[in-house]
């Protein structure tokens, strides 16, 4: 039996608005990731397409922008917070997007338990909880176990993209990803935000506090024939 996953998020209290609740009630069947077994990504999106997993999408604003800008990519968006799930579902319906499937739950667990090997074109992890206190460092998502799972789930050439406004966490990301033999750290370390990644609410909040934002990329090496 696999070792249980450490919870890497805090369940925030937040009221689900009437509009979000209506979306949860009426749209979940249309957009939700179904079942509890291994995912068939082609069946999930009804077509062959590169698929990206986003772990933690907040209220979904960035997810909607990126999905609308890249309709040819299937996006699995995972988050544990009901208000954000409801907001994303409503946004997908209002924008008429059909390239996103929503998972209400722990995206890291979905990645490890249900996503097949060599199936994802990308994994996105934008502003995960930094767990800044020393006694909580073990709760940070980007560790050796996570890196190994990501390396296995990415297709050759597939890319992990992390972003954080907590400099010690950025250093940890670089160290962990550099040590994972199944991944190649790009650029040698953090870089500035690429233009195609929208600014998130958490990013703006961090910058307002004077935090430097770092984007970190790692790629599964392309297989040599």
User: Which amino acids are annotated catalytic?
Assistant: 129
63-75 in b/e form (b: 16+ CB < 10 A) is bbbbbeeeeebbb
Contact 94, 22 (CB under 8 A): no
Q: How far is CA 175 from CA 107, 108, 142, 169, 184, in A?
A: 22, 20, 10, 10, 12
- Of 56, 92, 101, 113, the closest CA to residue 74 belongs to 101
Contact 11, 80 (CB under 8 A): yes
- Of 115, 113, 185, the closest CA to residue 147 belongs to 185
From CA 149, how far away is CA 108, in angstroms rounded?
9
């Amino acid at each position: 039996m696999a070792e249980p996953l450490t919870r890497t998020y805090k369940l925030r209290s937040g009221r689900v608005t009437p509009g979000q609740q209506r979306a949860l009630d009426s749209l979940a069947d249309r957009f939700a990731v179904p079942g509890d077994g291994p995912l068939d990504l082609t069946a999930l999106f009804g077509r062959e397409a590169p698929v990206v997993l986003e772990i933690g999408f907040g209220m979904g604003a960035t997810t909607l922008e990126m999905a609308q800008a890249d309709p040819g990519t299937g996006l699995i968006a995972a988050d544990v917070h009901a208000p954000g799930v409801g907001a994303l579902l409503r946004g997908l319906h209002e924008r008429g997007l059909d390239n996103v499937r929503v998972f209400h739950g722990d995206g890291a667990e979905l990645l490890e338990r249900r996503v097949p090997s060599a199936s994802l074109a990308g994994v996105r992890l934008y502003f995960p909880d930094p767990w800044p206190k020393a006694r909580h460092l073990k709760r940070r998502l980007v560790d050796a176990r996570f890196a190994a799972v990501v390396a296995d789930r990415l297709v050759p050439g597939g890319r992990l993209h992390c972003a954080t406004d907590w400099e010690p966490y950025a250093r940890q990301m670089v160290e962990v990803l550099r040590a994972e033999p199944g991944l190649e750290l790009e650029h040698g370390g953090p870089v500035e935000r690429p233009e195609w990644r929208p600014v998130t609410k958490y990013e703006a909040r961090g910058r307002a506090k004077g935090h430097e934002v770092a984007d970190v990329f790692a790629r599964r090496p392309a297989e040599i024939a």
